[in-house]
Structure formats: C-alpha cells, structure tokens
Amino acid sequence: MSITAKVLSSSGAATDHALRGDYNEIAADYSVPQDMSRYAPEHHRLWRFLFDRQVKLAKTHACKPFLDGLRDLDVADGVPDFERANKILRKATGWELLAVPGLIPNDAFFDHLAHRRFPVSWWIREENEIDYLVEPDVFHDFFGHVPLLSHPVFADYMQIYGQQGVAAMAAGEVKRLSRLYWYMVEFGLIKDADGLRAFGAGILSSYGETRHAVESPEAYRIGFDLKRILRSEYRLDQYQAVYFVLDDFQQLFDASRGDLLPIYGELAALPDIKATDRLAEDRPI
C-alpha cells in the first residue's frame, strides 16, 4: 500500500481525493523539515490576509487564553517559523511543533500528542480556497491549534488526549474518541468572564464558523457532557449543528483523564446521536 493510501485509511480523513502534501521525504514519525525558503512572498501575503481578518474577529469571539497565546507567538508578519515558536512553547508548557506534509495516520498522530509534540502542516492553502479546505494547512494548524498549547491545563489535556488515543486504538474505539477531539479541540466553546467564547481550532481558523458558532441563533449550544459527545455524530462539510460549552478547561481535563474503556462499554449498548438531534436531557446554554 502507498504511504498516502495508508494515511488516508488510518487518519479518519474527511477526504476522498489524493492527499496534497508530498509524503516522499518523511521521516519515520511523518515529520519533514520546515524549509522557510519554500514560502514565496504570496504565501506570506496570504497568511497576513487570513491572520488580519481572523485576529480582528478573535478579539471579540475567542477566549482569553487563546488571545494571550496568540499574542505571545507574535506571528502577524507571515507564515511562522516553527523553531521560533518552539522556543516560546517549550518555555510555556513543554510542547513543541513538528512540520508534517498534512494528515498523518492515527497511530503517529496520537504518539506525537502523547509526547507533547503537535504536528503542523507546513503548506498554506491557495487563493481560491480562502474559506474552505479539506485538509488542514498551516493557517488552520498554527493559528487554530497552537495558541492554546501555551495554556497549562489545555496543554495537559492535549497530552492526555494522545494517551487516550493510543488506548482507544488498542480497544478499537478510535471512532468514538475522535468525537471528543472534534467537539472540543476543533469546535469547542467556553463560557468565561467575557461570556460565550470559542476555543476550538476549526472555529477560530474559519471566519464564517466563528460568527456562526458564537453568534447565530440557529446554532444549538449545550453544556459539556463527555458521554453525549462520545455518542454524537458530526458534520464534515457544513457548520456544526451542535456545540458543547465548557465551564473551564479543568472540566475537560478532569472528564478525560481516567480509564475510558468502561465508558465505551456502557455506550456500546446505546444508539449514536445524529449531528442535528436535540435531546430532552441536554443543557442548552
């Protein structure tokens, strides 16, 4: 099997087309060097366009730890140099970034997280796909995911998630656990001192979804519930129908740290919940 076929079959990838990245020069852990000379002026210009548009909106729509982390990274000028960011991250929480060609298989992805390494796609999207792309690029991965890695509790949560991923693979429960990544790390909301704010990377790297998730009366927002999340299907190609809202990151960490096998066992007897379902026991926010 080719490398990209292996990645596609085991990454939970949302794609039915060939992967964009070049997987020919990867190391055993799927990393590649981030060669800054590969970025042309138009790539930096596109980063600045996305960055400026998103940072304005984030000021009123993102939670404070995200904004603090983003400010400390100081990446307004162009596609960030991961080594420079690593100096900041290592000092803050011990995390580091590693460049990858795109999606990587689940086992490699979970192993990196379990060791406090976050894989970041090095390439940036094209001008004609500013608002929607299928695979994660450097703007999604870096702007969306990296700022919160400097928050101590969220940083610990991401490592726990990687460890849970390794355990879920052994138990054949990756599909269920992936819903936790989706509804929290990608599409999570939090209620903080400023009100309802976003922290998920899928939200905060998207102009449209940031407004939809935080402002839209059509969005269904309910209190965090681990079992409800693990049972809930999700949408790949539309804004989410439901968002889960944390009280704080400690709540997420506490719910996710124990042995999840008994919970998977309990949920096996229950039906999945459709992405658009609204249940009587939900706690609307």
Q: Does 164 bind ligand HBI (CB under 6 A)?
A: no
Query: Using the rule CB under 6 A, which residue among 4, 11, 34, 210 binds ligand HBI?
Result: 11
> Shortest gap between Cβ of 240 and ligand HBI (angstroms)?
15
Query: Residue 201 binds what, of Fe ion, ligand HBI, none (CB under 5 to 8 Å, by partner type)?
Result: Fe ion
CA dist 221 and 258 (Å) reads 26
User: Is the Cβ–Cβ distance between 228 and 131 less than 8 Å?
Assistant: no
CA dist 174 and 168 (Å) reads 5
CA dist 264 and 64 (Å) reads 33
**Active-site pick, 11, 31, 150, 205:** 205
The alpha carbon dihedral of 221, 226, 232, 236 has a sign of positive
Please give the size of the binding site for ligand HBI, defined by CB under 6 A.
Answer: 11
Burial class (CB in 10 A: 0-12, 13-18, 19+), 168: buried
In the shown chain, the binding pattern of residues 97 to 136 toward ligand HBI, with x for contact by CB under 6 A and - for none, equals ---x--xx-x--x---------x----------------x
Q: Does 201 bind Fe ion (CB under 5 A)?
A: yes
Considering beta carbons, is residue 138 or 198 the nearer one to ligand HBI?
138
The total number of residues written for the chain in this structure: 285
> Shortest gap between Cβ of 118 and Fe ion (angstroms)?
10
Catalytic-residue membership of 281: no
**Spacing of C-alpha 172 from chain mean position:** 22
Contact set with Fe ion (CB under 5 A): 201
Q: Which residues are catalytic?
A: 140, 145, 186, 205
